[in-house]
Amino acid sequence: MRRYYSQFVRIASSVSLSVLLANVAFSQSGARSGDEGMGIGFYFFCVVVAAGIIGGLYFWRKKKASFAVVSQADYNYQMSYNHGVGGSYDMDGVDAERDLEWLRKAKKATRKRETPSQGQAQSRLESTSTAASDAGIDTKAFQEKMRKLQYAQLPINSFSQLAKAKTYSPLENSDDPSLLSAIEQANEEYEEDESVRDLAVRILTAFRNRNSVEALSQIALYDLSSNLRSKAVTVLADFDHESVFEALLLACADPTREVRAAAARGLFRLSFDRAHAWKRIIEANDDFRMSHAARAAVESGIVAKSFDRLIHEDLKIAYEAFSLVSLLIKAGETDTVFEALRDHKDDRVKYALLHVLKVHRDPRTLSRLNDLRLGRSWPTDLSDRMRDTVKSLEQVAA
C-alpha cells in the first residue's frame, strides 16, 4: 500500500510542477503583451492542466494494475512461506470458505484414476486358476505316461513262467544221546514242566541237525508256552537253513505278538533266496500245505508288502514277490489278489498282478476276474489289460 501511495504522490507532484511552470511562463508573457495575451495564456493553461490530469490518471491506473499482480504474487509467496517454512498457521486475511469451495471444485474436476472392476479382477483370477489347473492336469498326465513307460522296463515283464526251485543240501540226522533225550523232553506230552522243556530247547540249540530242526519246529508252532515258542523261533532263524523257512513262515501267523515279531525278524534275516523257498512249497504239490503257507503269508502282512515289490527295479526282489503271488494262485487263496486289483492306488501294481494271472492261466480265476472287469468302469489301459487276461484264461477253460 505504501508503494502505491508513493507512486501516486510522484505523479501528482510532476503534474503540479508542470502546471506551475506553465503558469509562470504565461504570466510573464502576459505582462509583456498586455490584456490580449492574457486570454490566450489562460486557455493554454487550462489545456495543459487537463492534459496533465489525463496523463496522471492513465499512468496511475497502469501502475495500479501491475501493483495488484505483484501484490498477489507476494501474498501467495508469503502464505506459502508461512505455512511451509515458517511453520505459522495464522489465518488472518484468508477466506476459508472460498478456499474450501475452490478445493471442492478442484476435486470434482480431477479425474479419478481408473481401476479394474471387481468383475475384471474375478475374471482374471478365474483365468489364472484355469491355467494353473490345466498345467496341473498336463503335469499329472505326463507323470502317468512316464510311469507307464517305466513299468514297461521293469523286471516283472520278463517273468514268463515260474522256474523250478534250486535244490539245497539237507541237514543230516544225529544219533547223539543228549540230542535224542532233549527231543523227548521237549515234547510236552511227556514233560509238563515248562522249565524242563526250556532246558531241552537250550540243548537243541547246540545241534544243527535235521531231527533238531524238526523238534524245534514243533515247539515253535505248537507248544503252549509263548515264551518257548518265541525262543524256538529264534533258534531256527539262527540256523539259517532252507529247511527252517516254512516253520518261520507259519510262526508269522502265531496268535501271540511276541512270537509273530520274532518270526518276522528271523524270516527276513535268512541269507538264502526266499523266492526258491516259495517255489519249493508249490512244487510239493500238497494242497493243504500250500493253503496253510498262503494263509500264514496273508495274515502276517507279507503278501500286502509283496504286491508293491512286484514293481521293484531289483530283479531278485521282484522275482520273490512273483513267486509268492504264484503260491497264492496255486493255493486258490486269491482274495487278496482281487482286492488289490480293485483297490490298490498304483495302477502299475494292478498291471503286475494281471501279468502273474496271465502267466499261470488258472481257470479258477476266470470268473472272478471277468466279474471284476464288468462290475465297474476302468481306465482304458487297465481295461484293455483285463480283457486280454480274460481272453487268455478263456482259452485254457475251453
Structure confidence by residue, pLDDT tens digits, 4-14? 445 555 555 55
pLDDT tens digits, one per residue of 168-200: 999 999 999 999 999 988 876 666 788 899 999
Average pLDDT over residues 277-304: 95
**Over residues 365-373, mean pLDDT:** 95
What single-letter amino acid sits at 247?
A: A
Which residues have C-beta within 8 Å of that of residue 304, sequence separation ≥ 6? 336
Task: Please give the full DSSP string across 37-76, using - where no structure is assigned.
Answer: HHHHHHHHHHHHHHHHHHHHHHHHHHHHHHHHHHHHHHHH
- Predicted confidence at residue 186, as pLDDT, reads 85
Q: What pLDDT shows up at residue 26?
A: 47
- Using a pLDDT cut of 70, give the percent of the chain over it: 64
Q: Give the pLDDT score at 161.
A: 93
Cα(342)–Cα(384) distance, integer angstroms: 15
Count CB atoms within 10 A of the CB of residue 86: 11
What mean pLDDT, rounded, does the chain reach?
A: 80
Task: Grade residue 34 by pLDDT with cuts at 50, 70 and 90.
Answer: very low
Of the ranges 13-27, 81-95, 318-332, the best mean pLDDT one: 318-332
Each residue's pLDDT tens digit, 290-299:
999 999 999 9
Distance from C-alpha of 299 to C-alpha of 317, rounded to nearest angstrom: 21
Lowest mean pLDDT among 72-81, 145-154, 251-260, 295-304: 72-81
DSSP annotation of 167: P
- CA nearest neighbour of 223 among 206, 242, 238, 204: 204
Confidence of residue 234 (pLDDT cuts 50, 70, 90): very high
What confidence score (pLDDT) does residue 331 get?
96
Q: Rounded CA gap, 71 and 108, in Å?
A: 30
pLDDT score for 108: 53
CA dihedral sign, ordered 317, 323, 327, 333 = positive
Q: How confident is the model at residue 153 (pLDDT cuts 50, 70, 90)?
A: very high
Cα–Cα distance for residue pair 43/84, rounded to 1 Å = 61
- Residue 252: band (very low, low, confident or very high) from pLDDT cuts 50, 70, 90: very high
Give me 190's grid cell. 511227556
Cβ atoms within 10 Å, residue 207? 21
What is the pLDDT averaged over residues 338-348? 95
C-alpha to C-alpha distance for 113 and 115, rounded to whole angstroms:
6
Q: What is the pLDDT of residue 53?
A: 72
Res 242 pLDDT > 70 = yes
* Better-predicted residue by pLDDT, 20 or 177: 177
Per-residue model confidence (pLDDT) at position 370: 95
Say yes or no to pLDDT of 70 above 80.
no
Largest CA distance in the chain: 190
Per DSSP, the three-state class of 318 is helix
Average pLDDT over residues 67-72: 47
Q: What is the pLDDT of residue 231?
A: 96
DSSP per-residue string spanning 225-288: -HHHHHHHHHHHHHH--GGGHHHHHHHTT-SSHHHHHHHHHHHTT--S-HHHHHHHHHHTT-HH
Mean pLDDT of 337-352: 96
What's the predicted TM-score (pTM) here?
0.64
